[in-house]
Structure 1
C-alpha cells in the first residue's frame, strides 16, 4: 500500500512538473511575442509627428467648478504632437488650435502641450490652457489656468495613435 502511494505521489509530481514546464515554455515572452502583446497606441520616441484620435468628454468636477450647466456629449477629436517643432494642438471649442499651437514638454511617458491665453469664458478670465497625454495609457486631460490662480481640469478622455497606411 505504501508502495502504491509513493508511486502515485511520484507520478503526480512528474505530471505537475511537466505542466509547469509546459506553461513556462509556452508562456515565456519571446522578443516577437512581447512586441505583439505590448500595446502600441502611443509611440515612445521623441522625433517626428504623433497623430492622435481622442474620445473626449467634460470632466464633471471641472464642469461644476466653472458653472457649466449644459451637458456636452462625448466627442471624437484629432490631436497632434510635433516633437521636432516642440509643439502640439488638439481640436475643440476651448482648444489649442492647429493655427496657434502650444509649446511641448516631455515628462517621462507624458506629453504636455501648454499655451498662454487671455480670454473670458464661463464668467472667468482664462490665462492658459494645456493638455497632457500619457503615451503609456492614452489618457488625455485638458486643464485651464484661471487668472485667480486656480487650475481646472475641464476635459478628459482617451487617445490612440493614428497609424497611416503606406498608400
Structure 2
C-alpha cells in the first residue's frame, strides 16, 4: 500500500512538473515593444532622430489670436541623450542652433528652453515640446509672461529608422 502511494505521488509530481513546464514554455516573456526603450540599458543613449507631422492646435490658435490657417507640415526633431538636449524645426520652434534641455519623465521626453521675445502680441517667456515614446504624440507649448501656458502645436512623431545602405 505504501509503495502504491509513493508511485502515485511520484506520477502526480511528474504530471504537475510537466504542466508547469508547458505553461512557462508557452508564456511570452518578451517585453512589450513600447516599453523596451525604457527598460533596456543603453536605450536612452546616443541620438534619436524623429520625423513629425504637426499642425496648429485650435485652442492655442484662438488663445493667441492667430488668424492665419497653417496647413499641417512634416518636420524633423532630434533628441540627444548624451547632451541632454533636443530641438525641432519650425517657425515657432526650439531650433537646432539653440537646443533646449531634455528632461525624461517615464515614457515622455520633455525639451524646454527659456525665452524672452514678443510674438502674437504677448511676451513669450518659455518654449517646450513633449514627445511621448509610447504613443508618439507631440505637443509644443509656450509659456507667457502673464502666467498662462498655451499649447500651440500638436501632432505625431515616429523614430527615423535608417536603412542599411
TM range (shorter): 0.7 to 0.9
Name 1:162's counterpart in structure 2. Answer: 160
Distance 1:156 1:48, change over 3 A: same
Shift of 1:165: 1.7
Superposed CA offset, 1:1-21 (max 9, x none): xxxxxxxxxxxxxxxxxxxxx
1-side partners of 2:34 and 2:101: how far apart?
27
Superposed CA offset, 1:122-142 (max 9, x none): 000000100000000000000
Structure 1 portions without partners, runs of 5+: 1-24
TM-score by length of structure 2 reads 0.77
Name 1:21's counterpart in structure 2. Answer: none
Moved over 4 A (4+): none
Shift of 1:77: 0.6
2-side partners of 1:135 and 1:124: how far apart?
32
For residues 71-150 of structure 1, what are the structure 2 equivalents within 5 Å? Answer: 71-150=69-148
Structure 2 portions without partners, runs of 5+: 1-22
Distance 1:123 1:133, change over 3 A: same
2-side partners of 1:31 and 1:158: how far apart?
29
1-side partners of 2:155 and 2:76: how far apart?
12
Q: CA RMSD for the aligned pairs?
A: 1.9
Aligned residue pairs, count: 137
Shift of 1:29: 6.7
Distance 1:29 1:160, change over 3 A: farther
For residues 45-64 of structure 1, what are the structure 2 equivalents within 5 Å? Answer: 45-64=43-62
**Kept after mapping to 2: 8 A contact 1:43/1:50:** no
